A and B are shown apart, each in its own frame.
Chain A
Amino acid sequence: MSIADLLPVTVRFDTASAGLSARACQDQTDGWDAQGQTIHLDLRRGETAAGARAWAALAEPARGLELCTYNMPPDDVLLLAAGAVLRAWSHKPAPRAPLHVVTPFAEPVRAAWPRMAAALAGNLLARELVVQPANLLTPAVFVEQLRRLERHGVAMQVLGPKRLLREGYGALSAVGRAAQSGPYLVTLSLPGEGAPLAFVGKGMCFDTGGISIKPAGGMEAMRADMAGAAACAGAMLAAALRGAGPVVAVLAIAENSTGGDAYRPGDVLRSASGRSIEVVDTDAEGRLALADALHHARGLKPRAMVDVATLTGSIVTALGHHRAGLFGNDDALRDAVLKASRAAHEKLWPMPIGVRHREDLDSDIADIKQCTSGRLQPDACHAAAFLREFAGDVPWAHLDIAGMELAEEDEPLAAKGMPTGFGARLLDALLDSA
């Protein structure tokens, strides 16, 4: 399977027009002429957004789009095409439409495109995983769907529920216990010289909140609570397609359900690291799953770890739907992640882990509390302070992407309510900077 087969459109770069009926150019206005639909290419919000908007404006997407770029430099042409490709993705199966890009730099752009296309394929894999509802994408099905990465050269190791319990992954095991499927800890790896970079993803196929059950309103969005793991899987696909490595991804895949066997507030768990954790709120399950996943990743001797998780409502209150929160224990890694964030056009904002945030987690009965109770808690910072304990001395960054996994309103790259694939391109870009 080639990269082109993984994209929703057939992309061509040429110096000549293909005469498609819909054309987007800077000097066009929105309307119709003798040849067909004309679309204004609005570059004010950047090339990627412009390409995406042009695709979104199509009256008949099935007939494809021609982008006229005149003398736009090759790098910008790539971004423009990338925007159109991302917007062309739909969760509904559709025939592959043409995207024809007219540029005098067709040759250099063609040469550079596979690198971009790999990242886009990664982003779209993340979207495909996130869009599936929780009754279909159970933990077991999620694991099964990851098997498709194997044909791209990604090695996969799966630890199932029994093995996790036997080997002491007490935190992840507790979180996934009440559900009918899972939990799983999946390790994806691509070989290469030296110590790998490790991605760690939260893959909560559905999150009811458990015994600390969530309010009913809005709970349906919790099908996307596996977006962190999906982003890691997408980044692995991108890396595989472009031959990058060494890199590993450790995905904690589970469903946080309620049931007679569910874990409870007050329980003390023994994590894989040996540290004991007091559960305060079963709806703060992501950090428990990640604690074991981070510990597992440490065992793979990575040069750095980056975890990605739809972790807290607190980060949405803090940063809204326009930026994900970036935490970490290492300045150099933080700078590399910020650089990757700019390269991938996925916005982050650095957030603190203060001395008080860790102190707040002191437990009366265990080594650490998983979170605090009461209103007005800086839970995103608390979660990061908690995770830091499990990163040990490995350079580590944590992306709290809650609020970024689904498009809150119609955005250039994704229609309202649709998954964004946030994080996949960023992690892929990080392979070049960290």
Chain B
Amino acid sequence: MPEISFIKPALPKTGAILLPMTEGAALAGLAAALDEAAGGAVSRALEAAQFKGRKGQSVTIWAPVAGITKCVALGLGKAETLDADAAEQAGGPIWPALSAEASAMVAADVLDAALVARLASGAMLRSWRFDRYRTTMKAEDKPKLGKLAFAAGNAAAARAAFAPLKAVAEGVFITRELVAEPPNVLTPAEMAERCKPLEKLGVGVEILGPKEMKKLGFGALLGVAQGSVNEPRMVVMRWNGSGKKKSQPICFIGKGVTFDTGGISIKPAGGMEDMKWDMAGAGTVIGLMAALAGRRAKCDVVGLVGLVENMPGGNAQRPGDVVTTASGQTVEVINTDAEGRLVLADVIHYAITKHDPKWMVDLATLTGAIIIALGHEHAGLFANNDDLARNIEAAGRATGELCWRMPLGDSYDKQIKSDIADMKNVGGRPGGSITAAQFIQRFVQGRPWAHLDIAGTAWSAKDLPVSAKGATAYGVRLLDRLVADHEEG
């Protein structure tokens, strides 16, 4: 990841220069200076390439003047639609355009400081990569760019605006790393250990093991975990940013199945490797806590993650088993591959009884059905509270982490009636994501609650504006924005 700095506008002697340009804008400031130094080569090249500044459009001019390796003009789209949020998305492609350079500068001197900071944030978000397990990759195949400077009219203001964005990006990176880690490395115990560094940011971290959870009556979570030799954990992370002695926190709850074989209801082999990221909900909550603490968010938040591995061991739970959740409600396990909701049931109950949240959001890679419903652009949003749902939708639009509201209702709830227990853990194929949400709703005790089914958005098979293909950390920026917009005012 490059070190990002903000400098006063001056043409560099060496390295690459990127010109971020809105649609139809003339070369100005540093861009005009460069063009002049190059004897008009830049403006001629842009005209020859029919560069209009459309969003994502780019033109590369090699060695326009001595010392400068290349100049890249990058389109930002129409000036009137370039708000801070759009700038972040537009800033993403800065990274791949410059990453092979030894040094580079973005000539953003004609843009507002707030926009410059968001451009930089976009570039930083896009720069994340994960090379821990590459031992033979040649240095020249890796990004060389260690420092990326943004020239800004008001460099100090841009720097100040960037500080909280950087903290959020660092939270995003924590999530992406957790999601990308292989399942033999990232067991529940290891994932819990990786929450501990959050203490340095001022987050209280408490780790509960199987004994404590047994005492708490976590029959559903422990039932999922019992088929694996890797013990389960629950991690409770508390950030007190309000400065108040006593306040009602908000709670974020994440599903953390570090690997999901499906258990006895085992999954087909094709694509099962993707199940390493079945802990993305928990990974998102951990990264979110780091983001909130990193930028010293002025509110009280508790993040709770249930970490288990779903394996088909000799002691694994079976279809037909009945488990008793921490709430006392019983569940008939019809399909051991619908394990995420079992984990969430106990963690949510604990969150409510222990932390009395004002409102809460859970995140989970919960159902394949949500991919069949919505695809990979929107996460499924379920909520028992319209205000909360609207706020989440708005935060999603602002951060480019889109979600789509899905319905809840009694007619769906009926599908999880059981003949032997209070409910069963699946309701059939029709409305499969909805019945999963209905299951969770039975544990929220009427609190304002929203559920994000991120099975389609936690991982991307292709590059996105602010993340390369792979782990997206979907939800960290959305929920950070939700907190910023509604809990810190």
Q: Which residues of A contact B (CB under 8 A)?
A: 314, 316-323, 349, 351-352, 354-357, 360, 376-382, 403, 408
List of B residues within 8 angstroms of A314 by Cβ: 372-373
List of A residues within 8 angstroms of B36 by Cβ: none
Enumerate 30 A-B pairs (CB-CB under 8 Å) in ascending A order. A314-B372, A314-B373, A316-B431, A318-B369, A318-B372, A318-B374, A319-B407, A319-B430, A319-B431, A319-B434, A320-B412, A320-B431, A320-B435, A322-B407, A322-B409, A322-B431, A351-B374, A352-B404, A354-B375, A354-B377, A354-B402, A356-B375, A357-B377, A360-B375, A376-B372, A377-B371, A378-B373, A378-B376, A380-B373, A381-B375
Question: Assuming the A-B contacts A354-B377, A356-B377, are A321 and B430 also in contact, with contact meaning beta carbons closer than 8 angstroms in the complex?
Answer: yes
A352 touches B412 (CB 8 A): no
Produce 1/0 per residue, B367-387, CB < 8 A to A: 011011111111000000000
List of B residues within 8 angstroms of A320 by Cβ: 411-412, 415, 430-431, 434-435
Closest B residue to A385 using CB positions: B375
Closest A residue to B403 using CB positions: A352
List of A residues within 8 angstroms of B378 by Cβ: 352, 354
A223 to B373, CA, bound (A): 25
Q: Does B75 contact A (CB under 8 A)?
A: no
What is the count of residue pairs linking A and B with beta-carbon distances less than 8 angstroms? 82
Give 19 A-B pairs besides A321-B430, A323-B407, A355-B377 with Cβ atoms closer than 8 angstroms: A314-B372, A317-B373, A317-B432, A318-B433, A319-B430, A320-B431, A320-B435, A321-B431, A322-B412, A351-B374, A354-B378, A376-B371, A376-B372, A377-B371, A377-B375, A378-B372, A378-B373, A381-B375, A403-B430
List of A residues within 8 angstroms of B411 by Cβ: 320, 322
Total count of chain B residues near the partner, CB < 8 A: 26
A352 to B402, CA, bound (A): 11
A317 touches B429 (CB 8 A): yes
B369 touches A317 (CB 8 A): yes
Closest A residue to B268 using CB positions: A375
Give min CB distance, A45 to chain B, whole Å.
Answer: 10
Produce 1/0 per residue, B418-441, CB < 8 A to A: 000000000001111111000000
B430 touches A317 (CB 8 A): yes
List of A residues within 8 angstroms of B368 by Cβ: 376
Closest B residue to A355 using CB positions: B377
A314 to B429, CA, bound (A): 10
A382 to B372, CA, bound (A): 10
* Leading 3 A-B pairs by shortest Cβ distance: A320-B431, A318-B373, A378-B375
A112 to B407, CA, bound (A): 34
* Interface hits, B286-312 → A, CB 8 Å: none
A381 to B411, CA, bound (A): 24
A402 to B335, CA, bound (A): 26
List of A residues within 8 angstroms of B372 by Cβ: 314, 317-318, 376-379
Q: Does B406 contact A (CB under 8 A)?
A: yes
Question: Assuming the A-B contacts A322-B411, A349-B406, are A316 and B430 also in contact, with contact meaning beta carbons closer than 8 angstroms in the complex?
Answer: yes
List of A residues within 8 angstroms of B407 by Cβ: 319, 322-323, 349
Give min CB distance, A404 to chain B, whole Å.
Answer: 11
Produce 1/0 per residue, B442-484, CB < 8 A to A: 0000000000000010000000000000000000000000000
List of B residues within 8 angstroms of A322 by Cβ: 407, 409, 411-412, 431
A377 to B412, CA, bound (A): 22
Chain A CB within 10 Å, residue with most, of B371, B373, B404, B456: B373
B374 touches A381 (CB 8 A): yes
List of B residues within 8 angstroms of A317 by Cβ: 369, 372-373, 429-432
List of B residues within 8 angstroms of A356 by Cβ: 375-377
A352 to B378, CA, bound (A): 9
A376 to B373, CA, bound (A): 9
Closest A residue to B380 using CB positions: A318
A357 to B375, CA, bound (A): 8
A378 touches B432 (CB 8 A): no
Give min CB distance, B147 to chain A, whole Å.
Answer: 34
Give min CB distance, A66 to chain B, whole Å.
Answer: 30
A360 to B456, CA, bound (A): 15
A368 to B406, CA, bound (A): 29
Give min CB distance, B472 to chain A, whole Å.
Answer: 13
A270 to B369, CA, bound (A): 33
List of A residues within 8 angstroms of B456 by Cβ: 378
Closest B residue to A352 using CB positions: B404
A321 to B378, CA, bound (A): 22
A355 to B373, CA, bound (A): 15
A349 to B369, CA, bound (A): 16
A291 to B49, CA, bound (A): 37
Chain B CB within 10 Å, residue with most, of A319, A320, A360, A382: A320
Closest B residue to A376 using CB positions: B371
Closest B residue to A45 using CB positions: B410
List of A residues within 8 angstroms of B406 by Cβ: 318-319, 349
